[in-house]
Amino acid sequence: MPRFSFEFFPPATPAAEARFHEAAAKLSALAPDFVSVTYGAGGTTQERTFKAIDWVQKETELEPAAHLTCVGASRTQIDAIAERYWAAGIRRIVALRGDAPQGSEGYRPHPEGYAYAADLVAGLKRVADFDISVSAYPEVHPEARDAVADLDNLKRKIDAGASRAITQFFFDPDDYLRFLDRARAAGITAPIIPGILPIVNFERASQMAESCKAAVPQWLRDLYSDLEDDAAVRLPVAVSVAADLCRYLVARGVEDFHIYTLNRADLTAAICRLLRNDKRSGQSHNEQPKLLAGGLS
């Protein structure tokens, strides 16, 4: 049976907070391994992230994981945040280098901080025995020198104490499978969980893909053309595309998925239920499953 983890972003308004609570409560019925809450560039959502995580911890049966980044903070400050999470009963961290704040000239390590994610992982392990997840990039981190250097960095994070990696989203599952093969060949044995992004707003998803250098296939552009004002069609298309991408991976032995929920329970629940129903019904996807638009070769 496929296993899932979910990612939320911290709500910024009372209305958004109510939607977040509703989504988390509904998705708890799917029994995910854990749910993570993101952390804004430069720690800009630090208090909102803690508030959201604390609510999950106290008000649901979900296992929360707090995002934490290196950007704009000293080691002392980051260690204090980690100690605060541990004291609140939070045992999972998603440790990231983090993005530079908007308007800056790119990432620069804090002079008294953890320079990169591997340093952050090692530091967190010194604070407490957290279960730590880190990021991975099937299409190579946009700032990496090359694919080999990117894998070397991932191995440093795992060797520093991370339990697993969660990938950046991708739209061609073969990119993930090739990356997984390269990682295993490089001696990385930790789980590498594919990150799945349902495409609700194609323009926004394309902007996100551009920022992290994730390829958007032409067939996907064609599929979403003229759908921005047609939610009645766009939403089931988003579910179908994400579910079929996962089915392709399930047929090749992948069992765990990390879904970027966009703080929406409907899309995420539909994807998870479709995949689990495949298993319950004994449906097979071993014979070259295709995406909705025939995008896989």
Rounded Cα gap, residues 197 and 170, in angstroms: 8
How far, in Å, are 90, 117, 265 from residue 224 at the CA level? 39, 35, 22
Rounded Cα gap, residues 107 and 212, in angstroms: 14
Q: How many helices (H) and strands (E) does the chain have?
A: 10, 8
**Please, what sign has the CA dihedral across residues 279, 56, 236, 228?**
negative
Determine whether 7 is an active site residue: yes
Helix (H, G, I), strand (E, B) or coil at 45: coil
Helices (H), 30-189: 46-59, 75-87, 117-127, 147-159, 173-185
Rounded Cα gap, residues 241 and 197, in angstroms: 10
Residue of 7, 22, 59, 139 with catalytic role: 7
Helix (H, G, I), strand (E, B) or coil at 280: helix
Tokens encoding 248? 């392709």
Catalytic residues: 7
